[in-house]
Chain A
Amino acid sequence: MADTFSDILADADDAILDGLGETVTITGKGTVVGVFEDEYDDDVDVQGSHPMFTYDTSDLTVVSGDELVRSNGSAYTVRVPESDGTGLTALILQED
């Protein structure tokens, strides 16, 4: 049977994450590959940024309160894991 559109998109996501992603450590759980972003943001009239990490949900189960450590040593606490419903999860992060 031919791949569905969702299957093709999931394969594309995997290829992009594996090719362009970075490896981070979820303390106590292991490593996972994904894309880290930290775009400018502001709220309540305060400037800041919005760090998040997107990865393949099937690679690892991450929950609120887990610690994410990048290769440069920057550490973050997972505030909320948000599933996009297509196999990817965006971890909304807070600086430690």
Chain B
Amino acid sequence: MAELKAPMVGKVIEILVKPGDVIEKGQEIVVLESMKMEIPVEAGSAGTVREVCCKLDEAVSENAVLVVYE
């Protein structure tokens, strides 16, 4: 089981996957907005999405789990 974590404080502005999606290493999974910058958060490894743990427009803290996949 792998966790995609927020690299910094920010707001979730795009969620590009849903449970069941097969994802590749390096694929953009979630986009955060922080410091007026859109920051794509990429999968560290390949897998299948199990759970999306964030909502659109949600403010997330650093290291918050955004997506769980395996």
Report whether chain A binds chain B.
no
Q: Hey, which bits of chain B sit against chain A, CB under 8 A?
A: none
Q: Hey, which bits of chain A sit against chain B, CB under 8 A?
A: none
